[in-house]
Structure 1
């Protein structure tokens, strides 16, 4: 004997060599009635906004010294500066969202301090509001274009 136990019964060993894609429910029902093997697979990466996964992973990837995950949120000074700058320009959250090509919920999350900072969104808000939202001097006016500071 070559180490193979002949009394072992293998159940469910179907040939997957002639597998084809079933696109309709009638084709699926037919395959089930005929005893064909049916495998469902989820296609990954379809209709996914580019860069969304990477930013979420980067946010969760930050750890504190104790090994606890820490998700960074917008600071109070930034959220207050956004709200003050928006009111100074007499814009609603919806108006600001339209100008920066984002949803009003995004502006609301930044102003309430619930958003994870996105540099592109902050840069667009800076341009529309005319104030600094990143780095030092948050809330101060942006330098005029072409001048160095």
Structure 2
């Protein structure tokens, strides 16, 4: 005969039932009121939110587009001057360096030198100091 608890006897286990509690808060109360009004056939007021229920991006329609159109200001960031970019290019060519060689000499990407020589770069004092040291010249002020 096996030792231990008998498997033949009735168990004294009780079933456990998990129940989800009702939501609490202001929105839960209003939701129950709305549901009760719907069940009884009462009047339920609904408001459509701006671009709600559509499959479009929230950024596709700009609510203040008229203000943006009426604003005539042009916003541009400061770029390097024409004399700076020509001086940089002449100093680089005098050293017989390519843009990528100069970029590796100052530990920057090649696109940085390209942007400075094309006049699209935003002036950065640290990079300009690196360029001055690597080329051995004093470049003019960016702007």
TM-score, structure 2 normalization = 0.48
Max radius of gyration: which structure? Answer: 2
TM-score, structure 1 normalization = 0.46
